[in-house]
Amino acid sequence: MNILDQIIVDKKKEVALRKELFPASYWEQSSLFEKPVISLSNRLKTSSSGIIAEHKRRSPSKSNINSNLSIFEVAQGYENAGVCGMSVLTDLKYFGGALEDLVQARAVCTLPILRKEFIIDEYQLIEAKAHGADVVLLIAAVLTREAIESLSFCAKQLDLEVLLEVHTQQELDKALMPSIDMIGVNNRDLKTFEVNIETSIEMASAIPSDFIKVSESGISTLDSIKTLKGHGFQGFLVGEHFMKTNSPGAAAKQFIEGLQ
């Protein structure tokens, strides 16, 4: 069993337990549940940088990236840097994240916030909405076309935007539907965790122009961004490059200034 398969096995157990402890009706009473959504897709359409900066404490491929900084500090730093949006990892076991990280980021910034998670159940979309997220990630590698369709439709009913992540042509083929706002190409193979930015370049022409293109993972140089822009990408999800520093906000600011 590869790491992705194991994550999904564990995620099914986690979601089942959370449903028992906190029914969906509990989250629907959250004060954040009625919060107007801040559109990431609209910001990407008008941004000169397209940077979506990530908060990530650790990952299966790198046991510790940065666990010392508060989410408040990171979120404020990213907003001051002028990023388009913020991605927040909420998986605890493998990434050291928590749903509460969404709430804390929401409290101190006005950025569109993406709940980056292994979403397999509509319940997780309700959680995302109740904790202040504006966008949810759906990963084609772990979902059938039917699941993508039902989850993305549910997200739309909740006024959440959807970033659909693919890694191969086969995944893209099953993911194209009107309820998707953005298509993200993950340069990291989730089964092996190997990273290759050429994945985005190879996939670019296959993504219809109706969708905003987002390149994810392994982006650490200005040249990479410029190359990807040349292939029609408008969004660039950057995590470890900023988070491995003592000041992710300052690193993001310097990076964005270099793009101007």
62 is catalytic: no
Instruction: Please identify which of the residues 127, 161, 216, 240 carries the catalytic annotation.
Output: 216
56 is catalytic: yes
**52 φ, ψ (degrees, to nearest 5):** -110, 110
Instruction: Please identify which of the residues 165, 171, 187, 215 carries the catalytic annotation.
Output: 165
Instruction: Please identify which of the residues 66, 217, 224, 240 carries the catalytic annotation.
Output: 217
pLDDT of the chain, 260 residues: tens digit per residue = 788 899 999 999 999 999 999 999 999 999 999 999 999 999 999 998 999 999 999 888 767 888 888 999 999 999 999 999 999 999 999 999 999 999 999 999 999 999 999 999 999 999 999 999 999 999 999 999 999 999 999 999 999 999 999 999 999 999 999 999 999 999 988 777 788 899 999 999 999 999 999 999 889 999 999 999 999 999 999 988 999 999 999 999 999 999 98
pLDDT of residue 239: 82
Query: Using the 8-state DSSP alphabet, how is residue 140 labeled?
Result: G
Instruction: Please identify which of the residues 41, 59, 116, 161 carries the catalytic annotation.
Output: 116
pLDDT of residue 3: 86
186 is catalytic: yes
100 is catalytic: no
Number of domains in the chain: 1
pLDDT of residue 204: 96
Q: Which structure tokens are listed for 74?
A: 């990171």
- Between the alpha carbon of residue 217 and those of residues 17, 126, 142, 175, the distances in Å are 30, 26, 18, 20
149 is catalytic: no
pLDDT of residue 252: 97
Instruction: Please identify which of the residues 11, 41, 47, 56 carries the catalytic annotation.
Output: 56
Closest among 159, 206, 216, 158 to 186, alpha carbons compared: 216
Rg of the chain's alpha carbons, rounded to an integer?
17
Q: In CATH, what number is assigned to the domain containing residue 249?
A: 3.20.20.70
The mean of the pLDDT values for the chain is 95
For residue 254, what are the domain limits? 3-258
